[in-house]
Structure 1
């Protein structure tokens, strides 16, 4: 998989390192000469250019990329890069960094964003996930399909404890994708019984989140 990353700061370089370790091709783009640190990620391709300029993206051959990641520290730049990647080059997957949570509403398919990653929101969600039992925690928003990745830890005395996954009347537009049980990560099977303390990860439409929380909490009794 070929991935172009706009923004070669600490975030962009870290992402590049992870992708390279997983065997992917990575191109780092930045307009600041001081950001071009080839020795820090020597396996990556580097391009000194403005990722908001069509000529720069032509030079980067963005049409050959499977994924574009807008990882600069400027939300305006990330939006422009995302829009150009999607509309001008037809990149299948565009992931964009959100620096200011107040701007998160802009990062949607209208701006070419498939997945918006807000570091402040993600950190607060992970804190909530660590301390919340029985409450639905939103971990990530997917722009395509208007869906969220949400988590709920099944509380003691939950109505559905002991119930088979296949016997639960899940809300529409909701999918249970993973059960984390202790040190195990389970792909849900219809015969699996839910247990108290299970961390349940769902992809769900925002309109169904309240139904999902009611179903899984003690209030569902």
Structure 2
């Protein structure tokens, strides 16, 4: 996981440091342009030697939720790292991954995979794809049924709740940035950023049954 993330960041011209505590997992040839440190990222002295305070982002991406939480807390409280992203391996631990532990963004791999499966098979209901702003908002997807009562209606005539923003319409192979006069069609996949509090209002505005 860490090496894959590092390769993607290096392609975008970022400077990357990998901290790995197991010698057998250190593979500089696999990520040749990254710096490597053989040490335990949960040890304060390791982060001091790495000058963690000079980094813009820390990604805690191990397979151990406890280690990810400890690294997140140290990065935020001891070194003032601006942004801390942490991997959640067990969805039962999601409640821990918040600002109290120094986490700015929690990425739950199992929940994301489950959401993608649900998004692929769900029509006529709201699917949460990603949590944003430490749980204050969600990226959600709604696939409209073919017989939606909104068919032909302009975006501006859909009475959306205040805290819900339509950001993209996926239609066939097209990605549409919605304009106010664009029509809605049956089968459209609508992506919204919304707060949890107004999700039922959003369903109602789209002619769906509230949970």
The TM-score with structure 2 as length reference comes to 0.92
| Bigger Cα displacement from structure 2, 190-199 vs 124-133 | 190-199
Report the 3-state secondary structure (helix = DSSP H, G, I; strand = E; otherwise coil) of the residue aligned with 1:97: strand
Which aligned segments of 4 or more residues in structure 1 are displaced greater than 3 angstroms? 217-220
Q: Is the 8 A contact 1:159 1:218 kept in 2?
A: no
Aligned residues: 210
**Aligned counterpart in structure 2 of residue 128 of structure 1, from 111, 118, 135:** 118
Q: What's the counterpart of residue 5 of structure 1?
A: none
**Aligned counterpart in structure 2 of residue 199 of structure 1, from 176, 189, 193:** 189
**TM superposition shift of 1:62:** 1.9
Report the 3-state secondary structure (helix = DSSP H, G, I; strand = E; otherwise coil) of the residue aligned with 2:118: helix
- 1:175 paired with 2:165, answer yes
- 1:67 paired with 2:19, answer no
- 1:186 paired with 2:176, answer yes
**TM superposition shift of 1:159:** 2.7
RMSD over aligned CA atoms reads 1.7
Q: What's the counterpart of residue 151 of structure 2?
A: 161
**Aligned counterpart in structure 2 of residue 148 of structure 1, from 106, 127, 138:** 138
Distance 1:187 1:34 in 2: 47
Distance 1:92 1:182 in 2: 39
Report the 3-state secondary structure (helix = DSSP H, G, I; strand = E; otherwise coil) of the residue aligned with 2:16: strand
The gaps in structure 1 that reach 5 residues or longer are: 1-10
Distance 1:213 1:135 in 2: 8
**Aligned counterpart in structure 1 of residue 93 of structure 2, from 74, 86, 103:** 103
Q: Is the 8 A contact 1:138 1:151 kept in 2?
A: yes
- 1:212 paired with 2:202, answer yes
- Higher relative CO (Cα under 8 Å, sequence separation at least 6) belongs to 1
Q: Is the 8 A contact 1:114 1:142 kept in 2?
A: no
Q: Is the 8 A contact 1:135 1:217 kept in 2?
A: no
The TM-score with structure 1 as length reference comes to 0.88
Q: Deviations over 1:165-203 (max 9, x none)?
A: 223221122222222222222222222222212211112
- 1:54 paired with 2:51, answer no
